[in-house]
Chains A and B, each alone.
Chain A
Amino acid sequence: MESLMNWLQAQLADNSIFTLQTLSYYGDGLVTTVQLVFLSLIIGLVLAVPLAIGRGSKHAWIRLPIFFYCYVFRGTPLLVQLYLIYYGVVFVEGIQDTWLWVILEKPFVPALIAFTLNTGAYTTEIFRGAIKSTPKGEIEAARAYGMSRALMLRRIVLPSAFRRALPAYGNEVIFMLHASAIASVVTIMDLTGAARFVYARFYAPFDAFLFVAAIYLCLTFTIIYFFRHLEKRLLAHLKPASG
């Protein structure tokens, strides 16, 4: 490890901007970005499955609130949602006296809430479309076997809907990664935050932002590669038989 550090130091010797110090900013930023994106995607996904099922409910009092939630969060910019939650959380009556304030005080949690609600709305729509396009024959077959609604959802509808939703969900993951750059606006030191810091410190926009753009590009390609791999495995039965 020590020899690696020495080697890095030697490599960076005549470089005034990308010292070990600034590289560690980028490193911390990478960790923050990945945490933020990963957590919001996971929670959003958990949120989206019941919402997508409820969105197709027969009862208007279930269907309409979910429709309204999706409409509002997909129709307004993420930045506005982030501002609303980040500035708004302070004004919730009496929140500063509770234990919640300890975690809400830092910008990370408000940002996580905003991102989660945003991706939740998009993912709900994606799943909704996938569930809706379930072939009629599959449902009829399940009914003919005497499956209950819950069993049919669990065994037939959801597994095939998830697979059909995969390509669109991959796009949503990439979209979320890119949207997470907004976190830097509320003083979170994510990747973009690190780049803004380095830019302000050295007044070197090209070095600071091109470097971070390259990191984002690598992350994007990794996600694309991962989803392509998943699709190949999970959607193999939908491919044409020859080739």
Chain B
Amino acid sequence: MIDLHGYGPRLAEGALVTVELAVLSLILAIVLGLATASAKMSRNWLLHRLGTLYTTLIRGVPDLVLMMLLFFGGQIGVNMFTDWLYTQFDIDIFININEFVAGVVTIGLIFGAYMGETFRGAFLAVDNGQIEAGRAYGMSHWLVFRRIRFPQMMRHALPGLSNNWMVLLKTTALVSVIGLSDMVRVAAEASKATREPFTFMIIVAIVYLLIASVSEWGFARLQKRYDIGYGEAD
């Protein structure tokens, strides 16, 4: 079939790194997004400001710059902290920030801001009477969230969520720049070594399209599930 000059297995490993990175940062982004949405809707003045500051700052700066800041600057920051621990308390530890962790944290941080906006809109779309009814039944705040707010909110959040996921998936390509061996980096190396850029880059492009198509199908199924009880209304 296609001659990959022995780069096939490494390309497959790279694809796995891409998927792992994307899924882990999605989880982080969802957690951060829920926290941000709650902070932005809270009556607490400080929390509200903090949430707004976070989403504005993150969405105003390119992903690549943030990634480099965190990856190159993160290690120095951590070293300064461990040095301080050593001189103050005689605790000698060494923490190494690898590319994978830096990638997950940055992508999670960036998309946490976007998710925050998505979730805020979705939370506001849930009828207040539903929540009041839950409270009237004597449910705790957490139980109201789990049983009433979250399932109804997801219906409104899913379109935005799936959009964010598609963008996030494509953003993972950037980690190849800070040195993580994801599929794009392997393909770039292979292109330079074999002088066949078309072969490798087109394979990578097809894998991205494949992942996107599969997740589109998955989101359609999820949407169906969360739309139960709403029929064809919208």
A interface list, Cβ under 8 A from B: 71-72, 75-81, 83-84, 87-88, 91, 177-182, 184-185, 192, 195-196, 199, 205-206, 209-210, 212-213, 216-217, 220-221
Interface size on B, residues (CB 8 A): 37
* Least distance between A195 CB and chain B CB atoms (Å): 7
Given contacts A185-B177, A195-B65, contact A79 B197 (CB under 8 A): no
Name the one of B64, B73, B192 contacting A206, with C-beta atoms under 8 angstroms.
Answer: B73
Stretch in B8-16, B142-150, B168-176, B219-227 touching the partner: B168-176
Are B197 and A213 closer than 8 Å at their CB atoms?
Answer: no
Using Cβ atoms and an 8 Å threshold, which residues of chain B touch A199? 68, 72
A72–B207 Cα gap in the complex (Å)?
Answer: 11
Are B173 and A205 closer than 8 Å at their CB atoms?
Answer: no
Are A205 and B208 closer than 8 Å at their CB atoms?
Answer: no
Supply 10 A–B pairs (Cβ within 8 Å), ascending by A: A75-B209, A77-B171, A80-B173, A80-B208, A83-B191, A84-B201, A87-B192, A91-B198, A184-B64, A216-B65
* B231 CB–A CB distance under 8 Å: no
Are B61 and A75 closer than 8 Å at their CB atoms?
Answer: no
* B136 CB–A CB distance under 8 Å: no
A221–B177 Cα gap in the complex (Å)?
Answer: 27
Are A206 and B65 closer than 8 Å at their CB atoms?
Answer: no
B interface list, Cβ under 8 A from A: 57, 59-66, 68-69, 72-73, 76, 166, 170-174, 176-177, 184, 187-188, 191-192, 195, 197-198, 201-202, 204-205, 208-209, 212
Binding site secondary structure of chain B = helix
Are A72 and B187 closer than 8 Å at their CB atoms?
Answer: no
Using Cβ atoms and an 8 Å threshold, which residues of chain B touch A210? 69
Using Cβ atoms and an 8 Å threshold, which residues of chain A touch B60? 216-217, 220-221
* Least distance between A43 CB and chain B CB atoms (Å): 21
A179–B170 Cα gap in the complex (Å)?
Answer: 11
* Least distance between A179 CB and chain B CB atoms (Å): 7
Using Cβ atoms and an 8 Å threshold, which residues of chain B touch A205? 68-69, 72-73, 76
Given contacts A78-B170, A79-B176, contact A181 B208 (CB under 8 A): no
Are A209 and B173 closer than 8 Å at their CB atoms?
Answer: no
Name the one of B69, B73, B208 contacting A76, with C-beta atoms under 8 angstroms.
Answer: B208
**B68: nearest chain-A partner, CB-CB:** A209
Using Cβ atoms and an 8 Å threshold, which residues of chain B touch A221? 60
A213–B60 Cα gap in the complex (Å)?
Answer: 8
Using Cβ atoms and an 8 Å threshold, which residues of chain A touch B192? 87
**B198: nearest chain-A partner, CB-CB:** A88
Given contacts A75-B212, A195-B65, A205-B68, contact A87 B73 (CB under 8 A): no
Shortest Cβ-Cβ A-B pairs, 3 listed: A77-B173, A87-B197, A205-B73
A216–B69 Cα gap in the complex (Å)?
Answer: 14
Using Cβ atoms and an 8 Å threshold, which residues of chain B touch A213? 61, 65-66, 69
Given contacts A76-B170, A77-B184, A192-B62, contact A87 B68 (CB under 8 A): no
Using Cβ atoms and an 8 Å threshold, which residues of chain B touch A83? 184, 187-188, 191, 197, 201
